[in-house]
Structure 1
């Protein structure tokens, strides 16, 4: 009986120990550690304009890892849009975090017209908020830069120049808004947005974009957040209508 009681006690003790155990967290792999270390430094390299990284052999030595581990890490960072690897010219730090999403859009939505339609829906959801935040946070230098970009749109002599000035205007608003998530979302749509703008500017000209940007710029300069959001919403609504009309005409 004593032996049986002892077995129960031991069994209960084992059960109590089991209940106090928690899952072990696996240690990051060497590749994960290298990715983490490099990612922290790459943005500084891009911002400083010194995007070129040391040769693979030297980086591996400094990090204390094999070239195989470093190669796997840099390949992963390239897929994430933080590195550009060119055989023969080395590795360069870049800021293309939007590329993974941008590249997925054509796979998810093979038909261009549907991609453009959904693009306008996405922009209508996020760009008025970007304009609102930009109006709240814009400094004098920001407004000056925005006005300079707007003048490029006015003075553009070709469709391509107008398209790039248009994209830069919206990109600068996102930077002024100081929200990295909104900025990344907008940048992920930039390539598709370029196609959309080529269609609408070719169809209706750039004067409409100039008028809309003028209203947005004035609201941002006046720090009038509701007016900036309203002007941007009107801009998005008109762009959607122009694109829909062009698509319908083609059909």
Structure 2
């Protein structure tokens, strides 16, 4: 498998590019065709390639669909799905906010201010503000300028979306969310990394739902990108 990955790097193969035919590739790598098939199946499971019967093996898009699918499948498989989600949020998002505080620009701050204003309008119109909420968290990940981190956040955004729309949310959750978002933004604006981390930790704690025993929490899909959300609100 490592030798196939070396070949992919050496030939600078990108999304949609076709790998050499199986016979040719086996000869180039000096391996049996059975060994080659096992290796390519492993790469397919990892989301690196896709095997199209009768057509060949192709490089897969560099997105995170396999990771996303795996996380959603895992977390929808039990009654404690959203408990796991919030534990994940407590671990992941405060550190993202801390990094964002060190790297955000004035333009980033302005975009997030626009997102919070759009979220406020959503809530005033009687909506939950969920779409604005999701877009704000995604924007924080984007300003870290860490592409791997953004991909991970994109992969789990489907899961986090459910944690913001769940029927067991306490009354007033939307307004508390908006208020704590504003405090997070204040910390980002002044570049206070530790303050941003603490503000995000507090935010997750105050919006975390409480589930009755035996409740089965299901997963709702829906990544909300900041720019798309703002366009829709303004239209």
TM-score range, shorter chain: 0.5 to 0.7
Return closer, same or farther for 1:190/1:82 CA change in 2, 3 Å cut-off: farther
User: Considering only CA atoms, is the larger Rg found in Structure 1 or Structure 2?
Assistant: 1
Equivalents in 1 of 2:99, 2:195: separation in Å? 11
Return closer, same or farther for 1:36/1:239 CA change in 2, 3 Å cut-off: farther
Q: 5+ residue gaps in structure 2?
A: 27-32, 216-235
Equivalents in 2 of 1:120, 1:88: separation in Å? 44
**1:98 and 2:67 correspond:** yes
Deviates more, 1:219-228 or 1:73-82: 73-82
Q: Which residue of 1 aligns with 2:205?
A: 237
Equivalents in 2 of 1:238, 1:171: separation in Å? 19
TM-score (norm 2): 0.64
Q: Which residue of 1 aligns with 2:97?
A: 131
Contact 1:101–1:188 under 8 Å retained in 2? no
TM-score (norm 1): 0.61
Equivalents in 2 of 1:88, 1:145: separation in Å? 47
Deviation per residue, 1:33-61 (Å, 9 max, x gap): 3334447957xx5xxxxx5x14x4xx426
Return closer, same or farther for 1:218/1:202 CA change in 2, 3 Å cut-off: same
Q: Which residue of 1 aligns with 2:25?
A: 65
Equivalents in 1 of 2:62, 2:40: separation in Å? 12
**1:35 and 2:5 correspond:** yes
RMSD across aligned positions (CA): 4.1
Q: Which residue of 2 aligns with 1:216?
A: 184
The structure, 1 or 2, with the larger RCO (C-alpha pairs under 8 Å, 6+ apart) is: 2
Residue 178 of structure 1 deviates from its aligned partner by: 4.0
Q: Which residue of 1 aligns with 2:226?
A: none
Equivalents in 1 of 2:54, 2:177: separation in Å? 43
Residue 173 of structure 1 deviates from its aligned partner by: 1.6
Q: Summarize the alignment of residues 1-251 of structure 1 with structure 2, pairs less than 5 Å apart.
A: 31-38=1-8, 51=15, 53-54=16-17, 56=18, 59-60=19-20, 65=25, 75-82=41-48, 92-96=60-64, 98-99=67-68, 101-103=70-72, 105-106=74-75, 110-112=77-79, 114-156=80-122, 162-179=129-146, 182-183=149-150, 185-199=152-166, 204=171, 206-240=174-208, 243-244=209-210, 247-248=211-212
Deviates more, 1:115-124 or 1:143-152: 143-152
Q: 5+ residue gaps in structure 1?
A: 1-30, 46-50
Equivalents in 2 of 1:148, 1:168: separation in Å? 11
Contact 1:130–1:173 under 8 Å retained in 2? yes
The structure with the greater share of residues assigned to helix is 1
